[in-house]
């Protein structure tokens, strides 16, 4: 069976056996399902067995924070190879083989089917769209008055908490995505934020998009204070939140170009904050009014 999805204006397809159980676990993709199969940025096909990979050459071995998956990148002949494991002590859950342009992927599921398929599609989307003025980023996005406001920050900073404070205290706010929205620079130079099938632990998979109102980098603090970031600081703040491999030159160039366009167009701020309503109101009055 083959299905095609469209996220942030980009179509992609996945093929797996009709009876593979992951089809019943992909409800987060249903809002993005399309019938048109032309011009996909990538296609992913499931393998029934794993071929010999003994000749792989290390590009980079992932070193994530505790509790996060491990992503190891290799070169295998003329292809890229990615191994993903849930934890350092565990074996790979999924192995992905893809061409240099990340337009064709083959993957072997060795562990949890839902985790594996989500990983394949999210990674391939981030990689294949990197040179198409599109960034998949770690952020929580709240919509208000037809615009999207992105909250960035290190894990545990309170991105989801701050979004919820807006929703609970400021009339007319809605959550668009709570972990992995997509930013895209449109052909007219405007920047829009898109919902995606990937939203972390929050079940928020909305096929919606709105213009970006502002980007805010959060920091836990003992008082609430907000400041506008300079272009270099804004670039750095957004850059560390982007999904993608900087070790691949073409991808790094694409990420850089999109990042530079976004921070040159969208106002970016730094918010020192407490997890309270006053922080949400301060932020709102500064960036949304």
Is residue 156 very low, low, confident or very high in pLDDT (cuts 50, 70, 90)? confident
**Interval 197-236: pLDDT, tens:** 999 889 999 999 999 999 999 999 999 999 999 999 999 9
Residues 83 and 140 in one domain: no
| Final residue of a structural domain among 87, 113, 128 | 128
Residues 216 and 102 in one domain: no
Residues 62 and 180 in one domain: no
Residues 275 and 255 in one domain: yes
68 or 244, which is more confident? 244
Q: Which of 53-67, 102-116, 145-159 has the lowest mean pLDDT?
A: 53-67
Mean pLDDT of 182-206: 96
SS3 3: strand
Residues 111 and 151 in one domain: no
| Final residue of a structural domain among 128, 151, 174 | 128
Residues 156 and 272 in one domain: yes
Residues 43 and 89 in one domain: yes
Residues 6+ apart with CB under 8 A from 54: none
User: Bridge-partner residues for 144, per DSSP?
Assistant: 147
Cβ neighbours around 14 below 10 Å, total: 25
Instruction: Enumerate the H helices of 157-239 as residue ranges.
Output: 159-169, 231-239
Single pTM value for the model: 0.94
140 or 69, which is more confident? 140
| pLDDT value, residue 65 | 59
Whole-angstrom distance, CA of residue 58 vs CA of residue 76:
9
Q: Cite the beta strand spans of 47-160 per DSSP E.
A: 57-60, 70-76, 79-85, 94-98, 104-109, 134-136, 140-144, 147-152
Residues 20 and 108 in one domain: yes
Residues 50 and 77 in one domain: yes
pLDDT at residue 63 greater than cutoff 70: no
| pLDDT value, residue 180 | 95
Residues 183 and 72 in one domain: no
pLDDT at residue 61 greater than cutoff 90: no
Consecutive H or E run containing 153? none
Residues 30 and 88 in one domain: yes
> Which residue range is the domain that position 77 belongs to?
2-128
Strand pairing of 268-273 and 209-220? Answer: parallel
**Interval 81-95: pLDDT, tens:** 999 987 655 677 899
Residues 213 and 89 in one domain: no
Is residue 71 very low, low, confident or very high in pLDDT (cuts 50, 70, 90)? confident
Which CATH number covers residue 207? Answer: 3.90.228.20
Strand pairing of 104-109 and 40-46? Answer: parallel
Q: Cite the beta strand spans of the chain per DSSP E.
A: 2-7, 10-15, 33-34, 40-46, 57-60, 70-76, 79-85, 94-98, 104-109, 134-136, 140-144, 147-152, 174-177, 182-185, 191-194, 209-220, 225-228, 268-273
pLDDT at residue 18 greater than cutoff 70: yes
pLDDT at residue 64 greater than cutoff 90: no
> What is the rounded radius of gyration, in angstroms, for the C-alpha atoms of the chain?
19
Domain count, the chain: 2
| Final residue of a structural domain among 79, 110, 128 | 128
């Amino acid at each position: 069976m083959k299905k095609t999805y469209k996220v942030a204006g980009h179509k992609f397809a996945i093929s797996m056996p009709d009876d593979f159980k992951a089809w019943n676990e992909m409800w987060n993709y249903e809002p993005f399902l399309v019938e048109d199969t032309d011009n996909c940025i990538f296609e992913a096909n499931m393998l029934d067995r794993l071929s010999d990979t003994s000749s792989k050459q290390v590009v980079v071995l992932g070193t994530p924070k505790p509790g996060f998956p491990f992503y190891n990148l290799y070169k295998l002949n003329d292809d890229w190879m990615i191994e993903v494991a849930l934890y350092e002590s565990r074996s790979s859950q999924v192995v992905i083989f893809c061409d240099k342009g990340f337009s064709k992927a083959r993957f072997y599921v060795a562990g949890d089917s839902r985790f594996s398929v989500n990983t394949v599609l999210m990674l391939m989307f981030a990689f294949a769209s990197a040179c198409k003025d599109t960034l998949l980023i770690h952020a929580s996005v709240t919509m208000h008055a037809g615009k999207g406001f992105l909250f960035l920050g290190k894990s545990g900073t309170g991105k989801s908490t701050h979004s919820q404070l807006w929703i609970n205290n400021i009339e007319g706010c809605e959550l668009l995505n709570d972990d992995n929205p997509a930013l895209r620079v449109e052909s007219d130079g405007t920047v829009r934020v898109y919902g995606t099938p990937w939203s972390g632990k929050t079940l928020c998979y909305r096929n919606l998009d709105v213009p970006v109102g502002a980007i805010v980098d959060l920091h836990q603090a003992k008082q609430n204070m907000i400041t506008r970031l300079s272009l270099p600081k804004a670039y750095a703040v957004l850059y560390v939140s982007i999904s993608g491999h900087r070790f691949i030159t073409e991808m790094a160039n694409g990420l850089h170009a999109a990042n530079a366009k976004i921070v040159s167009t969208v106002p970016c701020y730094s918010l020192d904050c407490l997890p309270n309503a006053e922080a949400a109101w301060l932020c709102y009055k500064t960036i949304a009014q």
